Amino acid sequence: MKNPDRALLKDETGSAVIEFGLIAPAFLMMLLGVFQVGLWMQSYNAMRNSMTETGRNVSVEFQTDNRLTNSQIQDFGLGIASTTPYMLDLEDTKVFVDKDGPPAQTIPGTRKMVLTMTHQLPSFLSFAGVDGPELTYTRAVFVAI
């Protein structure tokens, strides 16, 4: 008569399922973490590029003697950030304008304007306690006085 304990110790059926069950949560979290970092990088690049485009368009508007107000520049920046190709969420994005600075010392006939965008980065790992940070990007634009 065989000892049933000895047979149970030598039985390897189902070991792959147990190993997968131990490794799968860690692997899944690492995979989702890679996707999350990629999403954050895309959001940062979208924020940076939309501010660059906003600064370029504001500079052109000032060169054509179209003096924009702060709220017009903010609306313009949010409009660019929320449309294709950037697609940033308007609820998580804010644009600030500081155009009341002194005339620029380095470029005669210009004024330095500072555009700042803040964006709350999205997170699909909230269930794991990983929330997206808030990023701030600042860009200086020199406009004609």
Distance in angstroms (rounded) separating the CA atoms of residues 19 and 89: 41
Instruction: Classify residue 22 by burial, with Cβ atoms within 10 Å: 0-12, 13-18, 19+.
Output: exposed
**How many domains, in total, are found in the chain?**
1
pLDDT of residue 73: 93
60-75 residue pLDDT tens? 998 898 988 999 999 9
pLDDT of residue 108: 78
pLDDT of residue 83: 92
CB 53 within 8 A of CB 95: no
Distance in angstroms (rounded) separating the CA atoms of residues 81 and 95: 10
- For 57, the token pair is 């368009």
Is the pTM higher than 0.85? The answer reads: no
pLDDT of residue 102: 64
Helix (H) or strand (E) holding 139: strand 134-144
Task: Write out the residue range of the structural domain in which residue 56 sits.
Answer: 4-144
73-112 residue pLDDT tens? 999 999 999 999 999 999 999 999 987 666 666 777 788 8
